Amino acid sequence: MENIIGLKDFRMNVEKYAKTAQKGVSVVVMRRSKPIFRISPVEEGNWEEVLDFTKMRKGGVNIEDLISRL
């Protein structure tokens, strides 16, 4: 299911539409009767953990240390 809303309505109610997407409903945002973007729920099965820096060191890894080792 998909809702169509105006840009002004989206700006004024971002949190409402974020919750709508979490519930599985896409929202198309229009400006001057033309679609400009869509907010859609994320499909959970498409995410893969590549690396968790908090598992390497409690609190994460210092970004400068990481970059210097690349």
Q: How many CA atoms lie within 13 A of 34 on its CB side?
A: 2
State the average pLDDT over residues 47-56. Answer: 74
Average pLDDT of the chain is 86
| Angstrom distance (rounded) from CA 15 to CA 21 | 10
Domain boundaries, the chain: 1-42
Architecture of the structural domain at 1-42: 3-Layer(aba) Sandwich (3.40)
Give the range with max mean pLDDT: 2-6, 25-29, 40-44, 62-66: 25-29
pLDDT single digits (tens) 11-33:
999 999 999 998 989 999 999 99
| pLDDT in the model for residue 56 | 73
Grade residue 36 by pLDDT with cuts at 50, 70 and 90. Answer: very high
